[in-house]
Structure 1
Amino acid sequence: MSQLDTLPKLDVAAIRADFPILQETVHGKPLVFLDSAASAQKPECVIKAEVDLYHHYYANIHRGVYKFSQDATEAYENTRETVRAFIGARSTRECLFVRGATEGINLVAQAWGRAFLKEGDEIILSEMEHHSNIVPWQMVAEEKGATIKAIPVLDDGSLDMEAYKSLLSDRTKMVAVAHVSNSIGTINPVKDIIKMAHDVGALTLIDGCQAAPHFQIDVRDLDADFYAFSAHKAYGPTGIGVIYGKEDLLDKMPPWQGGGDMISTVSIEKTTYNDLPHKFEAGTPNIAGGIAMGAAISYINSVGFDAIEAHEKAITDYAMAVLGRVNSLRLIGTAKDRCSVISFVMDHAHPHDIGTILDRQGIAVRAGHHCAQPMMDRFDIPGTVRASFGIYNSTDDVDRLVEGLQKVVDIFG
């Protein structure tokens, strides 16, 4: 009996049938897609949600009195309620739609940072952050004269919480960290991180891109001040995402961008801004993407996080065990609390060469620094091969990966 047999069942064959692209072949081989951490594949219901809009009721939203506009507005705003429930927000006013987590983090860095950061203030990040949770803070810190500090990463890929405690002070104004590392899969103790930040009067932003598809998020239980995620990591479309913010904080922040829909009144002399969430949503949005994001979240809900977590944990545990036995392979990041992302290097073979050899076997992995160069520097490596799993993966995919890696061993020794 395999480990999967002892856990809540997820019908992988039925799940895979929902994803048209998984029926494709690559170089004549059945596709093994192990790059969901970069961008997950899309189920038919998500594709249909976009197509249905353009086929049957497309119109701009929030402005029209005619039926198509009202129908599109209703579908788009229904997603906001779906998002609110998905992350446990108190109100839809706290759920801002953006192009993705990158834009959401930039929104907070610019709107909050420009308004409230002062010279000498400190921002705490971590060594494992995605560039999208580093560069926006560097930009505003340089402008405002603030300082950035980083929580070190331990040898197993977990955060050094004692070092984090020592970094905190009354000068700390923002702590911005990933819920899950995109490069090595570590799940960070963000609830503790948030409480410790609040104890010194600091705010927090959590990058939840790698958490949203894999386990239940509750922003109120975490007490996060801001929380960002992108739809495309969670089986939804590109070009749409969410930045959650506590309503009292968003009320105090000035808009980041100006334009249509974020205004109440406009004259040449003065503008008054719209209510939340629209105050931060200038211009015509990604209407089809917003509607399809709702379909993706509904799909995740239909599968259920209990089944998702159990299934992905079993696959990840299995992969960690069998990959650890591949000759010359070294796992990067072995923290106990981890999600379905595995990074590794191999002696004598560059990650890009490994990725190319695997591609010829129909296996899609990511090779490089994963937009996490400080993390690669921490482990003194140029990059890794990253295999990341979604609800449509199985232990058979892991076995195919191991077979492909054996070819790398045969070529490079």
Structure 2
Amino acid sequence: MPALDAAALTQLRGLFPALNRTAPSGELAAYLDGPGGTQVPESVIEAISDYLRNSNSNIEGEFDLTIATDELLALSRAYGGSFVGGDAGCIAFGQNMTTLNFSLIAAFGRTLKRGDEIVTTALDHDSNVAPWLLLAQDLGLVVHTVGLKEDLTLDLDDLASKLSSRTKVVAFTLASNAVGTLTPAREIARMAHEVGALAWVDAVAFAAHRRIDVVNIGCDVLLCSPYKFFGPHLGMAWVRRDLAETWPANRVRPAGITPPGHRFETGTLAHEALAGFVAAIDYLAALGAGDTLDSQLDSAYQVIEQQEHFLAERFLAGIARVPGVRLVGPRTAESAGRVGTFGLVVEGGGSARLARALGERGIYTWNGSFYAQGVLEHLGIDLDEGLLRAGVVHYNTVADIDRFLRVLTELHADAH
């Protein structure tokens, strides 16, 4: 059963201006592009505009606009802490997740020595792989890659075989951005800690779909991107306090060192984006119920998970009957195994052609590798060809899915 009835979903969709876009066919556009970045509610747009109109200033001055900006930064950290379930002082913001991850890895790298080992996975976006490979080249480190099983879940036996007393980090994703696979995060973090390594988590493809809780996961570093959960383009990280306070960060000499997350923020932040981030968290909180932001977010993600599970079941039941494409990754909608991101292999190639044809009919999907190089290599698929990717978030509808499946079937018939 969906968590949102027809009236509630219509009201919710009315908060998103983009969802009113009409395709050339006369139908509303179907936004199945969520894995690449979600749409934003009007409140996020207004918050960004309002900041630029009424509060635009740099920080740490002695007049009202700069004081308001200081307060916005403090509120953003508080909201970031609530969003990930961790210490607000350990939140760092940056241009995007990839840039922020390079910065954090560079700081941590100063604590490593030649011969230390890093473990990454074949399930990950390259933003949590390539920075480690480059660091290894510079410092003489060893990087191991955890392989995948046939169903595109992580091979934990392979992970265990690659851990040792020399392992310093296990870097892994919470959810595949290409095929939706979830990872057993607590188990991976436990295995990392047993050999004295850090658990370094990419939550970008997870954050729109499931509640993040860094304490429950037991991770040491976690990164995500607000533009993947109804906010603006921005990167956010949480770093365990003792690490955030002691890593030798790249920073200019006069810059402050408190709160500890600020140590990894170079230059002036995009304050207007932070205003949009706060509005995005408020939007999510309003989906739930409770007396505190934390409890509201807990409740909201129960709604989101139930709604997306309903949509995922619809998608998976339908895609099995569409000729010319093959689903890769988990084939069940069970919430323990996947989020609503679906990777499709196109028979005979042509993922770009199909994505283009769908787009011309107002159905927005993605095609390519999505920087998930390890997944495509495991599947034996050329990076240039890649997959066709569709995804659902809680604002999607049954009509979006049914139209995608119908048009995909028609396009296959036209091509044959």
Question: What's the TM-score bracket when you normalise by the shorter of the two chains?
Answer: over 0.9
The answer to whether the 8 Å contact 2:180/2:342 transfers is yes
Question: 2:82 maps to which residue?
Answer: 85
Question: 2:295 maps to which residue?
Answer: none
Could you report, residue by residue, the CA deviation over 1:138-168 in whole angstroms, capped at 9, with x for unpaired residues? 1111111011111111111111111111111
How far off its partner does 1:8 sit?
6.2
Matches within 5 A, 1:103-252: 103-113=99-109, 115-238=110-233, 240-252=234-246
Letter in 2 for 1:387: A
Unaligned stretches of 5+ residues in structure 1: 264-272
How far off its partner does 1:349 sit?
4.3
The answer to whether the 8 Å contact 2:97/2:236 transfers is yes
CA distance in 2, matches of 1:335, 1:158: 12
Provide the TM-score with structure 1 as the length reference: 0.92
Q: 2:286 aligns with which of 302, 312, 319?
A: 302
How far off its partner does 1:307 sit?
0.7
The answer to whether the 8 Å contact 2:104/2:264 transfers is no
The answer to whether the 8 Å contact 2:231/2:280 transfers is yes
Question: 1:39 maps to which residue?
Answer: 37
How far off its partner does 1:406 sit?
1.4
The answer to whether the 8 Å contact 2:90/2:259 transfers is no
Q: Secondary structure at the match of 1:25?
A: coil
Letter in 1 for 2:147: P
Could you report, residue by residue, the CA deviation over 1:222-259 in whole angstroms, capped at 9, with x for unpaired residues? 11100000110011001x22111011011120112336
Q: Secondary structure at the match of 1:42?
A: coil
Q: 1:405 aligns with which of 380, 397, 408?
A: 408
CA distance in 2, matches of 1:137, 1:82: 29
Question: 1:278 maps to which residue?
Answer: 262
Provide the TM-score with structure 2 as the length reference: 0.92
How far off its partner does 1:171 sit?
1.2
Q: Secondary structure at the match of 1:116?
A: coil
Say which is worse superposed, 205-214 or 26-35, in terms of deviation: 26-35
Letter in 2 for 1:14: Q
Question: 2:352 maps to which residue?
Answer: 352
Question: 1:372 maps to which residue?
Answer: 372
Matches within 5 A, 1:261-276: 262-263=255-256, 273=257, 275-276=259-260
Question: 2:48 maps to which residue?
Answer: 50
Q: Is it true that 1:385 corresponds to 2:388 in the alignment?
A: yes
CA distance in 2, matches of 1:293, 1:218: 18
Letter in 2 for 1:108: L
CA distance in 2, matches of 1:35, 1:95: 28
How far off its partner does 1:75 sit?
2.1
Letter in 2 for 1:291: A
- The total of aligned residue pairs comes to 395
How far off its partner does 1:73 sit?
1.8
Letter in 1 for 2:13: R
Q: Secondary structure at the match of 2:150?
A: coil
CA distance in 1, matches of 2:259, 2:213: 24
Q: Secondary structure at the match of 1:26?
A: coil
Question: 1:394 maps to which residue?
Answer: 397
Question: 1:13 maps to which residue?
Answer: 10
Q: Secondary structure at the match of 1:402?
A: helix
The answer to whether the 8 Å contact 1:185/1:333 transfers is yes
Letter in 2 for 1:344: L
CA distance in 1, matches of 2:23, 2:374: 33
Could you report, residue by residue, the CA deviation over 1:355-400 in whole angstroms, capped at 9, with x for unpaired residues? 0111111100001111112211110113110001112101111101
Question: 1:267 maps to which residue?
Answer: none
CA distance in 1, matches of 2:199, 2:307: 31
How far off its partner does 1:274 sit?
5.1
RMSD of the TM alignment (CA)?
A: 1.5
Q: 1:94 aligns with which of 79, 82, 90?
A: 90
Letter in 2 for 1:167: K
Unaligned stretches of 5+ residues in structure 2: 288-299
CA distance in 2, matches of 1:8, 1:360: 30
Letter in 1 for 2:239: G
Could you report, residue by residue, the CA deviation over 1:59-118 in whole angstroms, capped at 9, with x for unpaired residues? 112x211111111221232111011111111x22211111221122212210001x1221
The answer to whether the 8 Å contact 1:19/1:42 transfers is yes
The percentage of aligned residue pairs carrying the same residue is 29
Letter in 2 for 1:278: H
Distance 1:343 1:138, change over 3 A: same
